[in-house]
Each structure stands twice: as structure tokens, then as C-alpha cells.
Amino acid sequence: MQYEAVIGLEIHAQLLTESKIFCGCSTKFGSGPNTQTCPVCIGMPGVLPVMNRKAVEYVIRTGLAVNCGISPLSRFARKNYFYPDLPKGYQISQYELPLCEQGFVDITVNGETRRIGLTRIHLEEDAGKNIHEGTGNQSFVDLNRAGTPLMEIVSEPDIRSPQEAAEFVKKLRTIVRYIGVCDGNMEQGSLRCDANVSVRPVGQKELGTKTEIKNMNSFRFIEKALDYEIRRQMKVFNEGGRIVQETRLWDPNRGVTESMRSKEEAHDYRYFPDPDLMPIEVDNAWIEQIKSQLVELPDARRQRFISQYALPDHDAELLTAERVTADWFEQAVKSGGEPKAVSNWMMGELMRLLNEENKQIDECGFRPEQLAGLLKLVDNGTISGKIAKTVFEEMYKTGKDAEAIVKEKGLVQMSDETGIEAIVDEVLKNSPQEVERFRAGDAKLMGFFVGQIMKLTKGKANPKIVNELLRKKLLG
């Protein structure tokens, strides 16, 4: 029997608001435990929540960016369950009436583009954090995160492979970062993902029983956990067994998913509309205003990079993966850099140097205008392409302009023919055997002669002139 995997994802993204969703406490990450709390977010009796308008705006912005319809009226509901990190005993979430419904994103895997439907995006509050590690026999609760605004993006079960799942999360991460609603930091948990997965015989329409996997905080883990879980489910089927609907936990150390608890049903949560909060009304004027402020999205920008700058698809994809990178590129081009040359330097040398120091492009020590300045020196023959590499590294280290570096270090290209000719003559005179072998047909030796000349001129001889002279002298 041939089986196929069916996957639907639920992504939780912490919104980049400065304050929490129902109180004025800060949402900053990394402060001392319980220093960012108040009676509202620690669930004292008698307090009332007040909606953070920015959080609603961010969810609408996201909805618009992923082709969702925005509900004119949506409502908060209480999701009741007991857990020590949830002081009120219920989470304020949205149930029947979410803010956004029915959108989609397109993903491309192995050259094939597929559209993944989005069921809904809703707004809810985050819980606190239980701390069990390094605390001896006790457990602690940090409520700094309690009440941080979260949006939950729920996909349709349209995903068919672990690779597609990872690509889907990557795509959403790129989008939320572009539009500035979430920092996408998976390690710190600002972007988290639960995966629902089932398998079914190829050709069968009905969905199989699913399991839900939690605790995957990187793209690699998403792929690995799903891969493991799909194999596990197929094995169960092949052995004549049945899948139990349950929540499973990914253990990255052992590379397996393990049963955590049987899956709760919606009715277990006793959802009901929150009587303390007004329904959210969103009128068209507000939607239009948010739409008008929406930045150019990654897919559109990538297409524009291909058409406007004649970049290969590969370059366009890499350069538009982050908004800061795309901005940097466009700034360099605007300052006169030839697009493909700028792209090559960015994807090659610049990325290499940044990666070495684990830096992002906005931490680069020089400005895009300065890269354009370097390219100009290569274009007008002041320095050779080889020397440009040296200048580039120096520019990266010191932040100085290419022109200043070239002057300071005396790196101007040697283009005067007489000067170069003298050196060519010297090299040929000192290598009589090589000259003989070259003339006997060993064409590879050309590289040897060029190398010798470059060594003597410290790389400054104009390679075009060197080659011309060598050819003339060796071949007559």
C-alpha cells in the first residue's frame, strides 16, 4: 500500500507590540523573572482587561499580507484549563469569530510552487513560563510572558511533506519579519510551531487520524520531527495497527516523537465569549489605512528584482529573504553599483565575512554606497578585480572608503605598458625552461607566467596588459 502524509500547521507568533495585550506591562524579552507583571497579567480577581489596539492592527496587517478576509466583527473567548503558568485559569483567545479567515501563501519546493491555504488567524494572549531546570526539587513560574500578544496562524491540511512544512514556516517567518509584526526568533520562542500530521492511502479523500507534535524550535527540527512521525505512522499501518489521536513531543536529543497526552477536544475547554471584553469591530476605513501602509512583500519584491535588475532567480531569492538585505542591495544599486556586480559581492564576500562573525547585514561596518564606490574603482580600471577583494576586506574591517584605502596602501593598478613590459621580460628571462615548454605546447604554463608577474607587482599589474604582452612575447 502506498501512503501519503497530510500536514497542517499551527504557528504562534509573538507580536512586536511594546506592551502586553490587556495591560500596560512591557513585553521586553530577557528581564528578571516576574519584573514585568501587574494585577491584570497575573490574574488577580476584580481586574479588567483593556484591549491593545496595536495588537489588533498587527493581526490585520498579517491577514492582509497573506490574502485573508478580515472579519468586520470578531470576539474573544475564554479557553479554560488549569496549568501553573496560566494564573487566571483560562486563556483569552478567539474561538468562533477570529480576526482573519481564509487566506493562503505560495511555497516553492524543488521548483514546484504550491498554494497552502490558511484557515484562520486569531489573536490571543501568551501564557507564562514554568521553570523546572536547575531549581532542585522546586519549580518556578515566570509570568513576564503572560499576556504577551500572540497571533495563531492555522493552515489547512494542504502540506504534503516535511520539506514543504519547513518551507511554509520559513515563508511565514519572512513575511511577519517584513511587515514588522514579529521578530521571528525561533530560539527565543517568538515564533513557535505545532504540526498536525496524519497519513492515508494515496487516492483516499478522507483524512486519517492525526497526531499533533509540539516543541520544534527550528526548521531542521520541524523537518526531522515530521519525517520521524510520518515513518512511525506508516509503520503502525503496515503492522495492521491504528493511530491514536494524541499530542506528541519532539525529543531533539533522541530524534524521536513521544506520546505526551491524549488530545483534548475543543469542548474540554468550555469555550465561552469573554464577558469582560467588547467584540472587536473593524471597519473598512481602518482596513484601507492598514493596507495603504503595507510594505512590498517578499514575493513581489523578488519578482521585481528579477524584472527590474535582470537578476537570476537565485540571486533575487537570497537578496529578498530579509528586508534589510533587500534594502541594502537597492541602496547600493541606487548609488551607482551595477546590480549583478552588487549581488555577487553581497552573496559572496560580504555574506562570508558576516557569517564568520555571526553578524546580520545591518551590522556591516560600511554602507552600501561604499560598495558602489569600490565597484566604480574596478570599472574605471583604477584597481584590478583581485585587488578589489583586498580593498573590500579592509573596507569591512575599517569602514573606510575604497578610494581612501587604495590611496593609503598604494594599490592603484599598474597600467603603464613600459613598466609592465620590463617585468614580463625579467620573468621570461628567469624561466627559460618554462618558456621552452610553453612554446612546445604546454599552454597551462601561461598561468605560471601571470602568477610570477603578479607576485612581483603585488597583484597590481593590469591583467589584460600582462596577458597581451605575454602572448606577444611568447608566441611572437
- The number of residues that bind ligand ADP (CB under 6 A) is 16
Q: Which long-range contacts (CB under 8 A, 24 or more apart) does 264-271 make?
A: 264/81, 266/95, 268/81, 269/79, 269/80, 269/81, 270/78, 270/80, 271/77, 271/78, 271/79, 271/80, 271/95
Cβ-closest position to ligand ADP: 8
If one asks whether residue 181 binds ligand ADP (CB under 6 A), the answer comes out as no
The binder of 25, among ligand ADP, Zn ion, none, by C-beta within 5 to 8 A per type, is Zn ion
Q: Which is nearer to Zn ion, 41 or 374 (CB)?
A: 41
- Report phi then psi at 396, rounded to 5: -65, -40
**Span interacting with ligand ADP, options 204-212, 425-433, 445-453, 459-467, rule CB under 6 A:** 204-212
Q: Which is nearer to Zn ion, 277 or 474 (CB)?
A: 277
If one asks whether residue 38 binds Zn ion (CB under 5 A), the answer comes out as yes
If one asks whether residue 9 binds ligand ADP (CB under 6 A), the answer comes out as yes
If one asks whether residue 10 binds ligand ADP (CB under 6 A), the answer comes out as yes
If one asks whether residue 8 binds ligand ADP (CB under 6 A), the answer comes out as yes
Beta pairing class for 149-155 and 112-125: antiparallel
If one asks whether residue 210 binds ligand ADP (CB under 6 A), the answer comes out as yes
Binding characters for ligand ADP, 381-420, by CB under 6 A (x = yes) = ----------------------------------------
Candidate residues 198, 257, 325, 452; the one interacting with ligand ADP per rule CB under 6 A? 198
Q: Which is nearer to ligand ADP, 77 or 465 (CB)?
A: 77
If one asks whether residue 377 binds Zn ion (CB under 5 A), the answer comes out as no
C-alpha to C-alpha distance for 176 and 183, rounded to whole angstroms: 7
C-alpha to C-alpha distance for 471 and 465, rounded to whole angstroms: 10
Among positive and negative, which fits the CA dihedral 362, 368, 370, 375?
Answer: positive
| DSSP secondary structure of 345-408 | HIIIIIHHHHHHTT--GGG-SS-HHHHHHHHHHHHTTSS-HHHHHHHHHHHHHH---HHHHHHH
C-alpha to C-alpha distance for 222 and 166, rounded to whole angstroms: 6
Beta pairing class for 280-281 and 73-74: antiparallel
If one asks whether residue 350 binds Zn ion (CB under 5 A), the answer comes out as no
Least distance from ligand ADP to the Cβ atom of residue 210, Å: 4
Q: Which is nearer to ligand ADP, 20 or 79 (CB)?
A: 79
If one asks whether residue 154 binds ligand ADP (CB under 6 A), the answer comes out as yes
Least distance from ligand ADP to the Cβ atom of residue 107, Å: 15
Residues numbered 227 to 246 that lie near ligand ADP (CB under 6 A) are none
244: cell is 491514536
The binder of 5, among Zn ion, ligand ADP, none, by C-beta within 5 to 8 A per type, is none
The binder of 196, among Zn ion, ligand ADP, none, by C-beta within 5 to 8 A per type, is ligand ADP
If one asks whether residue 17 binds ligand ADP (CB under 6 A), the answer comes out as no
C-alpha to C-alpha distance for 306 and 142, rounded to whole angstroms: 48
If one asks whether residue 202 binds ligand ADP (CB under 6 A), the answer comes out as no
- Report phi then psi at 21, rounded to 5: -75, -30
Least distance from ligand ADP to the Cβ atom of residue 179, Å: 22
Beta pairing class for 191-201 and 211-216: antiparallel
Least distance from Zn ion to the Cβ atom of residue 76, Å: 17
> Are residues 23 and 143 in contact, defined by beta-carbon separation less than 8 angstroms?
no
If one asks whether residue 56 binds ligand ADP (CB under 6 A), the answer comes out as no
If one asks whether residue 127 binds Zn ion (CB under 5 A), the answer comes out as no
**Span interacting with Zn ion, options 18-26, 209-217, 261-269, 371-379, rule CB under 5 A:** 18-26
C-alpha to C-alpha distance for 236 and 251, rounded to whole angstroms: 20
Least distance from Zn ion to the Cβ atom of residue 88, Å: 12
**Span interacting with ligand ADP, options 92-100, 160-168, 195-203, 307-315, rule CB under 6 A:** 195-203
CB atoms within 10 A of CB 360: 10
Binding characters for ligand ADP, 255-274, by CB under 6 A (x = yes) = -----------x--------
Cα–Cα separations (whole angstroms), residue 96 to 68, 75, 426: 16, 8, 85
If one asks whether residue 169 binds ligand ADP (CB under 6 A), the answer comes out as no
Determine the residue type at 456: L
> Are residues 51 and 279 in contact, defined by beta-carbon separation less than 8 angstroms?
no
Least distance from Zn ion to the Cβ atom of residue 149, Å: 12
C-alpha to C-alpha distance for 312 and 8, rounded to whole angstroms: 32
Candidate residues 60, 121, 179, 197; the one interacting with ligand ADP per rule CB under 6 A? 197
Element (H, E) at 427: helix 417-430
- The number of residues that bind Zn ion (CB under 5 A) is 5
Closest CA to 144 of 50, 49, 29: 29
Binding site for Zn ion (CB under 5 A): 23, 25, 38, 40-41
Residue ranges binding ligand ADP (CB under 6 A): 6-10, 154-157, 196-198, 207-208, 210, 266
